[in-house]
């Protein structure tokens, strides 16, 4: 997926409208404490000329995400500006949502949710406010079954990710969760980060690259869903 003008959200760190009273560490990436948190957002654009001065346009978007957090289907269920609905939906369909939580990092959830978004024009400029989506119902789930104690890795592949240099310089820290599969041959593939998908410091990429080199000592002869979490700390 090619996203342009991306904004990467780490939990409430950039949810200014939803978390005004919460003390936020902008240099921490973490697993969300709830489903419905966007982790990669294409900033929704509304031309300033489309709104009157001091006008607020509100949209409720019902959507479904798959087990990788990609928006599959969506529609507006409430809108103060129906003429802008199609524009908003097309952009929202490029968002990615977290499918795992801090409590259950190794359980992926596909769900139907409602995303509320508001646009306000003041002093000729349009700003966007959003909050985590409300999860209406779970559609499906997949729990990782790999247990390292019973299905050990080949020692030469059991390594920790290197700390990206820029992340160290900026003192960025946190936890990255990765879901992936072991194929019948025991080699890891199809790895993706369940949070921090596009973090500019490279923590997610380092975690995914590390997991992608995993290989089991004994080939399982079948596909095994797996997950791994990595804690990055500068302390």
33-87 tens-digit pLDDT: 888 988 877 777 888 889 999 999 999 999 999 999 999 999 999 999 999 999 9
| Model confidence, pTM | 0.80
pLDDT at res. 76: 97
Give the mean pLDDT of 126-130: 87
Confidence category of residue 220, pLDDT binned at 50, 70, 90: very high
Domain with CATH 3.30.2420.10 in the chain: 155-232
Q: What is the pLDDT of residue 130?
A: 82
The mean per-residue pLDDT over the stretch 224-232 comes to 94
pLDDT tier, 28 (very low <50, low <70, confident <90, very high otherwise): confident
What's the pLDDT score for residue 8? Answer: 35
The matching CATH number, chosen from 3.50.7.10, 3.30.1050.10, 3.30.2420.10, 3.10.20.30, for 155-232 is: 3.30.2420.10
Percent of the chain clearing pLDDT 90 (strictly above): 61
Predicted pLDDT of residue 14: 31
pLDDT of residue 16: 31
Task: Determine the average pLDDT of the residues in 110-114.
Answer: 97
Cα distances (angstroms) measured from residue 61 to each of 99, 113, 123? 18, 8, 27
Per-residue pLDDT tens over the stretch 147-185 = 998 999 999 999 999 999 988 988 888 889 999 999 999
Alpha helices (runs of H) in 135-202, residue ranges in sequence order? 165-169
Buried b (16+ CB within 10 A) or exposed e, 24-62: eeeeebbbbeebbbbbbbbebebeeebbeeeeebebebb
């Amino acid at each position: 997926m090619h996203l342009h003008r991306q904004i990467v959200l780490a939990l409430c760190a950039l949810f200014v409208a939803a978390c005004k009273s919460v003390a936020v560490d902008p240099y921490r990436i973490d697993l969300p404490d709830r489903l419905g948190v966007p982790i990669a957002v294409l900033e929704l654009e509304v031309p300033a000329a489309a709104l009157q001065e001091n006008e607020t346009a509100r949209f409720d978007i019902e959507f479904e995400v798959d087990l990788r957090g990609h928006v599959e289907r969506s529609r507006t269920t409430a809108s103060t500006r129906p003429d802008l609905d199609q524009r908003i939906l097309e952009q929202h369909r490029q968002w990615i949502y977290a499918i795992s939580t801090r409590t259950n990092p190794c359980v992926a959830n596909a769900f139907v949710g409602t995303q509320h978004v508001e646009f306000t024009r003041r002093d000729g400029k349009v700003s966007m406010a959003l909050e985590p989506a409300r999860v209406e119902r779970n559609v499906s789930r997949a729990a990782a079954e790999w247990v390292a104690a019973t299905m050990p890795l080949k020692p030469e592949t059991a390594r920790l990710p290197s700390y990206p240099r820029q992340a160290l310089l900026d003192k960025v820290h946190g936890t990255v969760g990765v879901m992936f599969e072991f194929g019948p041959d025991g080699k890891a593939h199809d790895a993706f980060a369940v949070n921090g998908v596009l973090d500019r410091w490279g923590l997610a990429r380092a975690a995914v690259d590390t997991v992608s080199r995993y290989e089991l000592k004994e080939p399982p002869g079948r596909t095994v869903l797996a997950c791994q979490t990595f804690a990055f700390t500068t302390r």
